[in-house]
Structure 1
Amino acid sequence: MTSPASAKPAILSVDDDPGVSRSVVRDLRRRYGADYRILRAESGASALEALRELKLRGQPVAVLIADYRMPGMDGIEFLEQAMDLHPYARRVLLTAYADTNAAIEAINVVDLDHYLLKPWDPPEEKLYPVIDALLEAWRSDAHRPVHETKVVGHRWSARSSQVREFLARNQLPYRWYLADEPEGSRLLQAAGASADNCPVVIDAAGKALLAPSDSELAASVGLNTDPTGEFYDLIVIGGGPAGLGAAVYGASEGLRTVLVERTATGGQAGQSSRIENYLGFPDGLSGAQLADRARRQAVKFGAELITAREVVGLEVCGSARVVNFDDGSSISAHSVLIATGVNYRHHPAPGVDEFTGRGVYYGSAMTEAADCADRDVYIVGGANSAGQAAVFLSRHACTVHILIRADSLEKSMSHYLIQQIEQIGNIVVHPCTEVVAADGDGHLERLVLRNNATGTEDKVDAERLFLFIGAAPETDWLDAIVTRDAAGYVLAGPDLMVDGNRPSGWELPRPPHHLETSVPGVFVAGDVRSESAKRVASAVGEGAMAVMLVHRYIAKQ
């Protein structure tokens, strides 16, 4: 039986100076000992061992306090490793006046929540207010206990791959079992299912879902799939960088904001294995990390996030803007922001569609990386997303082959990525090359490659093909509602003006705002906007700018 003390959330302090360590713990116990288990360690290694034991017991950790200057493992290194064990714990660095640069570095490396200068006496003024605020944020945060969801499926099942990708992109831990292996078979038997029912998802409570839809899967793992209200100030459609930026700024500035996402927050950027040129993160971060931080930030400010809902229509009903879902339900708002981004174009080569999800993947499909160990991997595309995937997969694969139709990467990829690729020995770039056919028995086994410079074709063995071949907007649901360009991108602001005239049907005395579409009160931001910059930073900026314009629009209603 778990004792009351061990059931309490933990606050852990680590400092190699015994006197300082005892002093920190004494002050913490005096204030928080009744509700929290106060632990201390005198080295990073011993603190990590304590955190591993807490993890095995399923005990949450609320706050980590680490001294910067410790031999063997400094405070930043400790907090970085501790994040893998307890990612939702709030992080504090103890520094001297001379070490404030270290604290600034830690903000980027370990997403530091606060740093305290030693000494902190009196604690009533310098320690307790900080810890109080961190504990309040930890308690109110949407962090989830790490329950073990089990997925049983087939290695070459497209739907099994989609389920795993859905869970991974939504930051939901799971364990993967093959249906034809002993443990997978035992789980299917216990669930009263067979291999024909796969994928089978067994949630932490032991409930089995047979071949669940995304909405059923989302509901089973605790994601919010239904709006709590019927009318909002702002509806954000799409959870990529632009949509998340708008959700953060909209909610933080007092707008009742709801964000609707079809699959998972982050968009295409959320699938990136590493983003190294985003302002403020000199050491880089993954797209999943960026998306998770932005999602938590939006929720903290009060934005409502709806997942696994498909938007199929937009209507204008007087001053209300109505968003329709595929199940026939709808929600309304004063304003709407379209931030649906773009999706990868389908590859036209014969066989590619047949093997999608069975060896052929659009985007990074990071869940497949472990299965690429010691195998040749092929990537089609020459933009940054392809380069980031190549660098990531090179850690696992025998050889990563980048196939591009251009004669070099310089025309489409950032210079820093080209330099990285040139320094990685198992990445090979094939210029003037494209896939002309895919073949296999039940899954991808071979590719036919054509060198357009020589006209020759070669057949190669391949079980993994990742496609980054440009993207297009999916905006057919906006047909006859907002004006789009020939490629389907949404026109806004000055791009709507023709010879200085306002768009057809525009009845307001003012011209459209910069990010406003041909429908007043409906805005657009990010990659789905015509002539947008197609960069994470610009998408976030447009999301923030759109909120400013929404305020202007609502104020005039």
Structure 2
Amino acid sequence: MPALYRPVVLAVDDDPQVLRAVRRDLNRAYRDRYRVLASTSPDEALRLMDELKERAEEPALFLVDQRMPGMTGVELLKESLTRFPSARRVLLTAYADTQVAIDAINAVRLDYYLVKPWEPPEERLYPVLDGLLEDWRLTHRPPYDGIQIVGQRFAPATHRLRDFLTRHQQPFRFVDAEADADPLTLPTVVLPDGTRLSRPGPAELAEVLRLSGESERQPYYDVVIVGGGPAGLAAAVYSSSEGLSTLLLDEYAPGGQAGMSSRIENYLGFPGGLSGSELTHRAVAQARRFGAALLSPVSAVSLRRAGRARAIALSDGREVIAGAVLVATGLSYRRLDAEGAAAFEGAGIYYGAAVAETSTCAGRHVWIVGGGNSAGQAALHLARHAKQVTVLVRAGSLGETMSHYLVEEIEAAENIDVCSGTGLVAVEGDGRLRRIKLRDLATGEVTVADAEFVFVFIGASPRTDWLGDAVRRDRHGFILTGPDLGPAPGLPGWDLPREPLLLETSVPGVFAAGDVRAGSMKRIAAGVGEGAMATALIHRYRAGS
């Protein structure tokens, strides 16, 4: 962020002695990057918030005591939510108030609670706040004079550029093009030095902005990982940390479907939840720290044997040789089977959370198709910005397909409603989405509703077409591994005197992990576990066992 820009950290406590200690500790660690403000009353804190909003200043974090006269800390944080929804929130509590704090995690999007006293701050305060402030920094867009995208708001090509830069956590400003702008030059990317790129593709943009990763590639790696979702990133961390030369490839941007998730609330160790982009950023930084090479947007197009090694042909025309390969390409969202839907992809119909469109949805009516956890997380995220969110579910109720905690939060949200037993059958518009047709699956009755934004979460298919016949797959395209392959003597081309290892495919030395593997749990934590397990199995393969 610019050197002169210092976001606010606001501490609130009615006990002057405690507040002095809080302010002292905050200033000691953060005054070079943040402006620390303190208030002795909730009313004064609300006035400060209003002044910050008038001056277009953005608080990064609120640290609020629970027990205060006139208004509790939870009540104050609830008020702050309407003013600054993206700020991080920490509650200071006594031991007796811990249940109140746990309840507030959902009620006010509480990120953390600290039980007083917090000394020593180096052990009990700073590690917590460091993580929260870093998370806030990753998702916040400070005053910025860098990259601009000039385009038509509902043009698919514009959406793709916005989504690409958002997934790569690259700050940019979107400028809605004038009505008389030349559509043949849009979208245009304007760089800080004035350079203008007309209708650039992801590969060109990644090269210009140096987002693609390693510019020089080794001819051989101990491990090549295809796919940068949770499984692939976990494998990159573990294999590189254990001294294996590691290359991770991703055809678009690291993170996979998990990287598109607006909020992950059931991941171990993050009681306040975290976004997919935050999880991805941490994992990428960790993998690079251990020496892993990351390359994107580059996709694998084929796999072949090269003696005891394996060769992967890439979309840029080159080939990379690996001692072992991990396929972690994950899933692609299934397309909406509704009349006219293909014409509005990126122009009102979006697959996945499409975080790049969050600001566009502010104050609007948003429709979500799907009843799984990804749909529920997106509904709760978008409800913080949209005027109304409607979830369309083919099942009889959300509880049939969605985790209980998400169902409870959706039911408690005032601006989310659920239409169960309903299918979306057709869409209409004039270059951008305008209307949708809904069918009651019980009665067959069709109704029409105005709609500008539809986010689709209706299941997914494995990304395995690039493999051809190289490895065995089930009838749905998922990769078979380990015992699911059957006895080794019956495997064509299997030339080792042992059975395939647990995550090993029908080709020795080629492994699969995460959602792309047949029988996997299709959960982020499970993918991370399989990625770590794959590294151990690759060691066994390399050792000849």
Q: 1:375 Cα deviation (Å)?
A: 2.8
Residue in structure 2 matched with residue 245 of structure 1 by the alignment: 234
Quote the residue 1:172 is aligned against. 170
Aligned to 2:496: 508
In structure 2, the residue matched to 1:294 is: 283
Q: Which residues of 2 match residues 309-348 of structure 1 at below 5 A?
A: 309-348=298-337
Deviations 1:157-182 (A, max 9, x none): 1010011011111111110001117x
Query: What SS is found at the alignment partner of 2:497?
Result: coil
**Structure 2 matches for 1:364-375, cutoff 5 A?**
364-375=353-364
Counterparts of residues 160-309 of structure 1 (less than 5 Å): 160-180=158-178, 194-226=182-214, 228-230=216-218, 231-309=220-298
Q: Does structure 2 retain, via aligned residues, the 8 Å contact 1:25–1:39? A: no
User: Residue 401 of structure 1 aligns to a residue in which SS?
Assistant: strand
- SS of the residue 2:399 aligns to: coil
Q: Which residue of 1 aligns with 2:435?
A: 446
Of residues 156, 159, 181 in structure 1, which corresponds to 2:157?
A: 159
Return the letter of the residue paired with 2:323. H
1:415-469 residue CA offsets vs partner (Å, 9 max, x unmatched): 1111111112322222221111111111111111111100111121111111111
Report which stretch shifted further, 384-393 or 220-229. 220-229
Letter of the 1:264 partner, please give it: A
TM-fit CA distance, 1:371: 2.4
Shift of 1:352: 0.1
Deviation at 1:346, TM superposition (A): 1.3
Distance, in Å, in 2 between the alignment partners of 1:278 and 1:37 is 29
- Contact kept? 1:496, 1:518, Cα under 8 Å: yes
Query: 8 Å contact 1:342–1:528 — kept in the other structure?
Result: yes
In 1, the alpha carbon distance for the partners of 2:389 and 2:419 equals 11
User: Which secondary structure state, in structure 2, belongs to the residue aligned with residue 442 of structure 1?
Assistant: coil
- Larger deviation: 276-285 or 16-25? 16-25
**In structure 2, what is the Cα distance between the partners aligned to 1:166 and 1:26?**
37
State whether structure 2 residue 453 is matched by structure 1 residue 455.
no
Q: Cα distance, 1:284 vs. partner? A: 1.0
**1:108-138 Cα deviation digits (max 9, x unpaired):** 98899xxx98679xxxxx99xx99xx9xxx9
State the partner residue of 1:362: 351
Give TM-score scaled by structure 2 length. 0.78
Report deviation, 1:556.
Answer: 2.1
Distance in 2 (CA, whole Å) between partners of 1:453 and 1:340 is 38
Q: Could you tell me which of 423, 437, 445 is aligned with 1:434?
A: 423
Counterpart mapping for 1:81-100 below 5 A: none
Give a deviation string over 1:397-430, Cα, whole Å, max 9, x none: 3322211221112221111111111112322222
Q: Whole-Å Cα distance in 2 between the matches of residues 433 and 42 of structure 1?
A: 50
Letter in 2 for 1:175: R
Identify which of 368, 376, 381 aligns with 1:379. 368
1:466 aligns with 2:459: no
Q: Aligned-pair distance for 1:374?
A: 3.4
1:232 alignment partner AA: Y
Is residue 150–residue 203 contact of structure 1 (8 Å, CA) maintained in 2?
yes
Deviation, 1:348, is 2.2
The alpha-carbon distance between structure 1 residues 511 and 441, as it changes in their structure 2 partners (threshold 3 A), is same
User: How many positions carry a matched residue from both structures?
Assistant: 508
Structure 2 match to 1:32 = none
AA aligned to 1:245 is A
Residue identity opposite 1:352 in structure 2: A
> Hey, what's the Cα distance between the residues in 2 that align with 1:39 and 1:425?
34
Q: Which residue of 2 aligns with 1:61?
A: none
> Take 1:407 and 1:249, find their aligned partners in 2: how far apart are those partners?
43
Is contact 2:333-2:459 (8 Å) kept? yes
Distance 1:160 1:552, change over 3 A: same
The DSSP-based 3-state class of the residue aligned with 2:206 is helix
SS of residue in 2 equivalent to 1:445: strand
Deviations 1:133-157 (CA, angstroms, capped at 9, x unpaired): x9xxx9xxx9999762100001221
- Is residue 448–residue 457 contact of structure 1 (8 Å, CA) maintained in 2? yes
CA shift in 2, pair 1:317/1:117, >3 Å: same
Return closer, same or farther for 1:409/1:23 CA change in 2, 3 Å cut-off. Answer: closer
Change (3 A) 1:260 1:26: closer
TM-score by length of 1: 0.76
Structure-2 separation of matches of 1:373 and 1:297: 34
Distance 1:476 1:111, change over 3 A: farther
**Counterpart AA for 1:432:** G
SS at match of 1:316: strand
Matched residue, 2:531: 543
Which of the residues 381, 389, 397 maps onto 1:400? Answer: 389
Q: Which of these residues, 407, 411, 414, is aligned with residue 425 of structure 1?
A: 414
User: Partner residue of 1:352?
Assistant: 341
Q: Distance in 2 between matches of 1:470 and 1:383?
A: 8
Report the CA distance between 1:229 and its aligned residue: 2.8
In structure 2, the CA distance between the partners of 1:38 and 1:152, relative to structure 1 (3 Å rule), is closer
The structure 2 residue matched to 1:477, chosen from 459, 466, 472, is 466
Aligned equivalents of 1:401 and 1:251: distance in 2? 44
The Cα shift of 1:228 comes to 2.7
Specify whether residues 300 and 68 from structure 1 end up closer, same or farther in structure 2 by C-alpha distance, changes over 3 A only. farther
Please give the alpha-carbon distance, in whole angstroms, between the structure 2 residues aligned to 1:37 and 1:435.
48
Matched residue of 1:268: which SS?
helix
Corresponding residue for 1:529? 517
Give the whole-Å Cα distance in 2 for the aligned partners of 1:26 and 1:371. Answer: 36
CA distance in 2, matches of 1:457, 1:27: 63
Moved more, 142-151 or 216-225: 142-151
Offset of 1:396 from its aligned partner? 2.6
In the alignment, the residues of structure 2 paired with residue 244 and residue 111 of structure 1 have an alpha-carbon distance, to the nearest angstrom, of 26
CA contact (8 A) 2:213 2:293 kept: no
Q: Any unmatched runs of 5+ in structure 1?
A: 29-35, 57-63, 88-92, 121-125, 189-193
Compared with structure 1, are the counterparts of its residues 110 and 229 closer, same or farther at alpha carbon in structure 2 (3 Å cutoff)?
farther
Identity %: 44
1:495-546 per-residue CA deviation (whole Å, 9 max, x = no partner) reads: 1115x75522211011111001111111110000001100000000000000
- Which whole-Å CA distance do the structure 2 matches of 1:496 and 1:381 have between them? 33
Amino acid at match of 2:176: L
The residue type equivalent to 1:381 in the other structure is G
**Residues 23 and 168 (structure 1 numbering): CA distance in 2 closer, same or farther, change over 3 Å?**
closer
Q: CA deviation at 1:43?
A: 8.0
Q: Residues of 2 paired with 1:42 and 1:206: CA distance?
A: 42
Compared CA separation, residues 202 and 506, structure 1 to 2 (3 A): same
Equivalent residues of 2:27, 2:36 under 8 A apart: no
Question: Which one-letter code corresponds to 2:379 in the other structure?
Answer: A
Aligned amino acid, residue 492 of structure 1: T
Q: CA RMSD in A?
A: 4.8
Q: Deviations over 1:283-320 (max 9, x none)?
A: 11111111111111111222111111121111210122
**Structure 2: stretches of 5+ with no match in the other structure:** 103-108
